[in-house]
């Protein structure tokens, strides 16, 4: 997929293999760290810090063993004021899975809601069925512990990530209000919270 890397929240971008070598994009978006997750990942640029993860885009591939390292790598990057690009080959499945794990950890949202948020800015984001099952299992059994670990490891999260995700969802607020089953009821609550804090009136969303 073309069209360049996509900003998800401050300091976090989602893209493809081409984006990871595009100097103009990397510079424009202040990318300092790269999570490279595909079949043959390796550091490509000397001035970037890499987390290289060998993983195929098949439903039997286990990505859960990488979740904690990814969250730590991305969060450390953002705390240092840098930008992190997460990419696979097409910027659709593996990289989206990593981004969703991070968003779930730094907000109160789950899998369905974070995927809906990401799709408002990157419509073709779509983890394969195996990765979706892993994300759902992570949400159900491991997410609470991951959030606790993040707080103990790094202390207070200085970013307003829940507000940023609300901003992503605001663009699809009409759909959420008319069909909350598409994205999960917590998304609608996030939209309400965001609109209240940012001064949007309900009439502007109808």
Could you tell me the residue ranges of all domains in the chain? 6-107+125-159
Task: Let me know if 123 is exposed, middle or buried by CB neighbors in 10 A (0-12, 13-18, 19+).
Answer: exposed
Contact criterion met (CB below 8 Å) for 187 and 120: no
| pTM score of the predicted model | 0.87
CATH of the domain spanning 6-107+125-159, picked from 1.10.645.10, 3.90.190.10, 3.20.20.80, 3.40.50.2300: 3.90.190.10
The model's pLDDT over 63-109, given as tens digits with 9 standing for 90+, comes to: 999 999 999 999 999 999 999 999 999 999 999 999 999 999 999 99
Beta strands 6-9; 12-15: pairing state: antiparallel
Active-site residue 88, yes or no?
Answer: yes
Catalytically annotated residue among 77, 88, 126, 129? 88
**pLDDT on residue 198:** 52
Beta strands 12-15; 83-87: pairing state: parallel
Contact criterion met (CB below 8 Å) for 22 and 29: no
pLDDT tens, per residue, the chain with 206 residues? 558 999 999 999 999 999 999 999 999 999 999 999 999 999 999 999 999 999 999 999 999 999 999 999 999 999 999 999 999 999 999 999 999 999 999 999 999 999 999 999 999 999 999 999 999 999 999 999 999 999 999 999 999 999 998 788 776 665 556 555 555 555 666 566 555 655 544 444 44
Q: What is the DSSP string of 32-83?
A: EEEEEEESS-----TTSEEEEEE--SSTT---GGGHHHHHHHHHHHHHTT-E
């Amino acid at each position: 997929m073309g069209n360049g890397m996509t900003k998800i929240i401050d300091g976090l971008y989602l893209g493809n293999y081409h984006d990871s070598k595009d100097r103009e994009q990397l510079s424009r978006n202040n990318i300092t760290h790269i999570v490279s997750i595909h079949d043959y990942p390796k550091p490509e640029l000397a001035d970037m810090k890499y987390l290289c993860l060998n993983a195929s885009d098949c439903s039997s591939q286990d990505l859960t063993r990488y979740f904690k390292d990814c969250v730590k790598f991305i969060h450390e990057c953002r705390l240092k004021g840098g930008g992190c690009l997460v990419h696979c080959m097409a910027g659709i499945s593996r990289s989206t899975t990593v981004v969703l794990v991070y968003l779930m950890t730094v907000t109160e949202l789950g899998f369905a809601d974070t995927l809906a948020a990401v799709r408002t800015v990157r419509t073709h984001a779509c983890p394969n069925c195996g990765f979706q099952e892993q994300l759902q299992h992570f949400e159900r059994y491991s997410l609470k512990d991951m959030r606790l670990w993040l707080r103990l490891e790094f202390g207070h999260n200085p970013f307003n990530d829940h507000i940023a995700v609300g901003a992503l969802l605001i663009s699809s607020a009409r759909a959420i209000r008319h069909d909350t089953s598409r994205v999960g009821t917590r998304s609608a609550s996030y939209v309400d919270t965001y609109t209240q804090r940012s001064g949007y009136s309900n009439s502007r969303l109808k």
